[in-house]
Amino acid sequence: MTCFQILLKEDNPALEYESWISDLAPHAIPSDLQRVNGINIKSPEQWKRRLVPLFARNKTVVDFYLSRVVFPKEAKEFPTKLSCFGWDLAEEKDHVTTGFSGTNDGRYLLPTSITQRDPDHQLATSAKVLAYLLQPENRHYMCTIGEDGERRTAREFLELLVSQKPEIRVLLDVGAQMLELSNGALATAWLELKPDAQAAIYFDDYEELTLGKCVVYLDDAHTRGTDIKFPLGFRAAVTLGPKVTKDRLAQGCMRMRKLGHGHSVMFFAPREVDRNIRSVSSIDDTNVIDAADILRWTILETCDEIQHRAPQWAQQGADHAFRYDAWSSYCDDEFTSEELAEAWLQPEAKSLEELYAPGRSDGQVDTSDPLIQQRLADLGILSVAHSGMDEEQEREVVHEIEREKQVERSRKVPAASHRLHGDVETFVRLGSIPRGSTAFLKIFDSLTNTTAAFTERVKADEYLRAVNWVISSDEVQPPILVVVSPYEAHQLLPKIRSSKTVHLHIYTPRMLQSMSPCDDLKLYSIPAVPDTWTAPLFLVDHLNVFAGQLYLRDYRTYIQLCRFLCLQARDLEADGDFTVQSDGFIKPEDRPPRARTGGSFQASPIPSLKRLSGLRTKGMLYAPTHMGKILDARLLTEDDFCDQTHDDGPNRTPDSTLSDGNLLGAEHLLCIVSWFLLSRLLSGAFFSVLTTSLLWFSFTLDPN
């Protein structure tokens, strides 16, 4: 439901909906659901019987949900961050910094400015805990795999728990295996399965210890630091999960304060952990796992955890030293407040290229602290990868404010005055561009020609003129296509009607896949073009890019466009290995022979094309389209064009061509009369958009 609610609020829902149904078989889509305007999410029958079966497991819809709902909240990044680590708390001060730790496994990752000191009478504490765990009453273990080999659900695990003898009244979720239920829901389910229980104790969402009726559940976060006095004889279930260290296990088990003296524990582990324990201790499936095997596994996990966290610890130490030096410079008036802020703030947001691009090599931790380097050497760590790839963050949470969407109206800008250059009139009369003329501008390095007046409407990108009028000439070779403004087309129309050298064509870019293309320039032309006339495809392809067309004619057109823009395509795979930039651009020195024949771009045109496409689509999403995929460096295949449902390009039948002088049906005549009257009443951007829409809806001669 959320996906459809967001879809219907899109600026261009039809475009997004096309991508949703593109992977479905045509016969699987009811006729009334082939267009987005056929969707009625308020209809329970349509929702349950038609929409849910069609789209519930649709990958494109799942991707849409992730990108629009999940990632904007869960994967939010900020340009910079101000970090604080344990190094800041333990830095050297005038007074002694003291702290407490119940175990000493983490002493290797303490800041170098502080040292853990164990009193003589506590040196045997760790050994005593291990000895308690190795006592006979604690050497019980069970793998929680179900009868069918599947993982047990939380309720199935509780049923297993209730069946144990002697009974278990405490659940210590050290391995974080009960995440599918909230603490309250799990306690409630446990009480339902154990009616003789008189109390249920757990931490609710507000970190309050809740006393209800007499079983106890402590989730992973509360298996450290919680002190509950259990009666003698209590037995606890301890879950094991991936990467459980000896420290976590000991802390969790010692919630049973009388462990070894009246309290006992039993261990439960999922299949993957069971497999790891057996591998570490070389135990086959026929033998029973003992508490000693579990401790051996947690000790090895502890070693792995220390080695894994050491690079992050070293990087935090280096960051702290850098901030401390900046603060010292600020206190000595060597830094301004702006320089201090710049030194303290660290970049956080990273592009996908920065995160996952190949060629990222490991490097030494950027620190000159000999103590850090020595400890890394003691741990056998000589080089580290980028520590930010695996950092955990505890962010200060602020309440999100509600935002009401406000429509920002286009600002007033000075309009350009209409004018008609004499060289344009000469072009209409002779069919060729006068040599050295300044009335014609080249777009995209000879993508196509346009008159200077076309580019002058108002002085703002938001008013980029749509491409709707094109004049063609075959008098010179290669042929010429000139984009003109509506004013020029109107002023030149009498001369064009009588011209023997040029034709005026109505054009509109193909913005929807279901839209019939009109880039053959035969939709409506003045004067009528011969039936054998074909538009110069090479220029039309470039015209489509300039006009912001989102869907290409066919796979061949895609290959030609990639050659022109110097982009990678699948046809180059046979040319061997060569270097491709992250946006798909191939530098001149890296191009294989087949890629050197089309374009001559020395630098990537992708940034400019992205900006142009954004202006043409008015900021609407176009990533699922052909051009969107090309600009995102995604390789297309012939399958991306197999669902084209309209005749394209020069293959359009003569019956679908409306030319000046052709016989028109009543509906076509009515359309042209309406368009003519509107042209007298309207002008500017509104008329340009209205003309495009009117021509599209009225002149599309699709039999369907």
Q: For residue 371, what is the DSSP state?
A: H
**DSSP H helix total and E strand total for the chain:** 25, 16
Strand ordering across the sheet containing 448-451: 440-443, 448-451, 480-484, 469-473, 502-506, 524-526, 658-659
Sorted by where each starts, the structural domains of the chain and their CATH numbers stand as 2-74 (no CATH), 82-93+104-112+313-386 (no CATH), 140-289 (3.40.50), 422-661 (no CATH)
Q: What is the pLDDT of residues 520-556, one digit of tens each?
A: 888 888 888 888 888 888 888 888 888 888 888 888 8
Whether residue 540 contacts residue 521, with contact meaning beta carbons closer than 8 Å, is answered with yes
Element at 91 (helix H, strand E) = none
Strand-pair category, 80-81 with 346-347: antiparallel
Strands (DSSP E) contained in 167-325 are 170-172, 199-203, 209-211, 214-218, 235-239, 264-269
Q: How many residues does the chain have?
A: 704
Written as six digits, the tokens of 626 are: 């052909």
What CA–CA distance (Å, rounded) separates 30 from 55?
A: 13
Whether residue 2 contacts residue 69, with contact meaning beta carbons closer than 8 Å, is answered with yes
Residue in this structure with the two tokens 């999100």, named with its chain if needed: 400
Give just the sign of the alpha carbon dihedral 698, 700, 703, 704: negative
Count of CA atoms in the C-beta half-sphere (13 A) of 108: 22
Taking all residues of the chain, what is their mean pLDDT, rounded to a whole number?
77
Average pLDDT over residues 270-278: 92
- The amino acid sitting at 253 is C
**Integer angstrom CA distances of residue 96 from 91, 92, 100, 317:** 10, 8, 13, 20
CA 158 to chain centre: 38
- Would you say residue 667 has pLDDT above 50? no
Element at 187 (helix H, strand E) = helix 183-193
Among 403, 418, 420, 423, residue whose Cα is nearest residue 465: 418
Written as six digits, the tokens of 210 are: 């809740």
What CA–CA distance (Å, rounded) separates 273 from 281?
A: 12
Q: What is the pLDDT of residues 58-80, one digit of tens each?
A: 888 888 888 888 887 777 777 88
What CA–CA distance (Å, rounded) separates 165 from 415?
A: 87
Average pLDDT over residues 491-510: 87
- Please state the pTM of the whole predicted model: 0.49
Residue in this structure with the two tokens 């000589």, named with its chain if needed: 382
Element at 236 (helix H, strand E) = strand 235-239
What CA–CA distance (Å, rounded) separates 42 from 627?
A: 34
In the structure, what pLDDT confidence band is assigned to residue 646 with cuts at 50, 70 and 90? Answer: very low
First to last CA, the chain: 30
Q: What is the pLDDT of residues 85-121, one digit of tens each?
A: 888 888 888 888 787 777 777 788 888 888 888 888 7
Written as six digits, the tokens of 604 are: 């990537």
The whole-number pLDDT of residue 458 equals: 43
Residues 6+ apart with CB under 8 A from 169: 197, 214, 215, 216, 230, 234, 235, 236
Written as six digits, the tokens of 54 are: 């069609």
682 vs 629 pLDDT, higher one: 629
Q: For residue 634, what is the DSSP state?
A: P
- Would you say residue 395 has pLDDT above 60? no
Strands (DSSP E) contained in 419-573 are 440-443, 448-451, 469-473, 480-484, 502-506, 524-526
